[in-house]
Amino acid sequence: MTRTSFIVSDALARELSSRGDEVLKAVAQTASCKVYLRGDEVMLHGDDDQVLRAQTVLGELGDLVAGGTALETQTVEAVTGVLATDGHAKDVLSDVVWRYRTTTIQPRTINQKRYVDAIRNTTMTFGCGPAGTGKTYLAMALAVAALDARQVSRIILTRPAVEAGERLGFLPGDLMAKVDPYLRPLFDALYDMMEGERVTALLERGVVEVAPLAFMRGRTLNDAFIILDEAQNTTREQMRMFLTRLGMGSKVVVTGDPTQIDLPRDKVSGLIEARTVLQGIAGIEIIEFERADVVRHKLVQEIVEAYRVSDEESA
């Protein structure tokens, strides 16, 4: 058994001890050794390999904190994943997508970094995976950043208006009032990233457009950042229609969770089909998110995994 201790920066010590030492505990669990913190001194106790692993993880976390990244338990998991590929955490997890007031939006897992890079570097990107993996939120942040940098002249956000156990006809109001609940998550993300007055002004001027998928038919979308959310609920015809709206100077991001399809059983999901049909086409990237990419409450990861196992057992 090996015992060793070393001094860490005050910033790293604060992050390790925050929220009931949860990050410190995550390091200990990842390295399978005992990790203690006394002030700014870290003490390790375990086998040689375990201690070395803990030292390496703590070193990577220190680099992230020095760059302004706040630590969470998922950060430790992400660092472990990066190290498994012989990479450095700061190269993957320090990429700032958008800053608004005190909020910094950046990838927090390897797949999120791949997703961000794919959106920046390709014309069309598919983000497929469970809820809570940041598919829509990161795409929205990149869209706002592209608009701010004048890389595009407008943002177009769309979703299929498919009911999950409810019927549009039972909702009050005109068509836009009926589809508003389906588009509300997109509005919420916008208001997280920009001042409310600016969002309102952009919507009024048509610089930002939020509309149900049916409104896309017959259009050619030029010089725009286009996001199709909840794409698992598109039919094959709707997906084909949407993808062929692409115009010059535009970028498309398609997000969806193939395990949460609300279409009738006799309908093929456009997202499922597109993932197969479009494989290997230059200019199109397909990023598959996993349970480990869930960045909401830790319990969400467990819920996603429990349903995955249940689906496999009943298949």
Q: Which residues contact 239 (CB under 8 A, 6 or more apart)?
A: 231, 270, 271, 273, 274
pLDDT in tens, the chain (315 residues): 889 999 999 999 999 988 888 999 999 999 999 999 999 999 999 999 999 999 999 999 999 999 888 888 878 888 888 888 787 888 888 888 999 887 888 888 889 999 999 999 999 999 999 988 999 999 999 999 999 999 999 999 998 876 444 444 544 555 556 566 777 888 888 999 999 999 999 999 999 998 888 889 899 999 999 999 999 999 999 999 999 999 999 999 999 999 999 888 888 999 999 999 999 999 999 999 988 788 766 677 678 778 777 777 776
Closest CA to 89 of 98, 97, 80: 80
Q: What distance in Å separates the CA atoms of residue 126 and residue 120, rounded to the nearest whole number?
A: 13
| pLDDT of res. 315 | 63
Residue 68 backbone phi and psi in degrees, to 5: 100, 10
Q: E strands along the chain, which residues?
A: 2-7, 34-38, 41-46, 98-100, 103-105, 124-128, 154-159, 208-212, 224-228, 251-256, 284-288
Q: Return the CATH class of domain 2-93.
A: alpha beta
Q: At what angle do helices 10-31 and 73-84 cross, to 10 degrees?
A: 70
| pLDDT of res. 248 | 97
Residue 46 backbone phi and psi in degrees, to 5: 175, -170
Closest CA to 158 of 88, 102, 221, 116: 221
| pLDDT of res. 167 | 45
Element spanning 306, H or E = helix 298-314
| pLDDT of res. 124 | 98
Hey, do 2-93 and 98-314 end up sharing a CATH topology, with the first three levels equal?
no
**3-state SS assignment for residue 274:** helix
C-alpha triplet 278, 283, 288: angle, nearest 5°: 60
Closest CA to 263 of 291, 239, 242: 239
Q: Where are the domains of the chain?
A: 2-93, 98-314
Q: Which CATH architecture has domain 98-314?
A: 3-Layer(aba) Sandwich (3.40)
DSSP state of 173: S
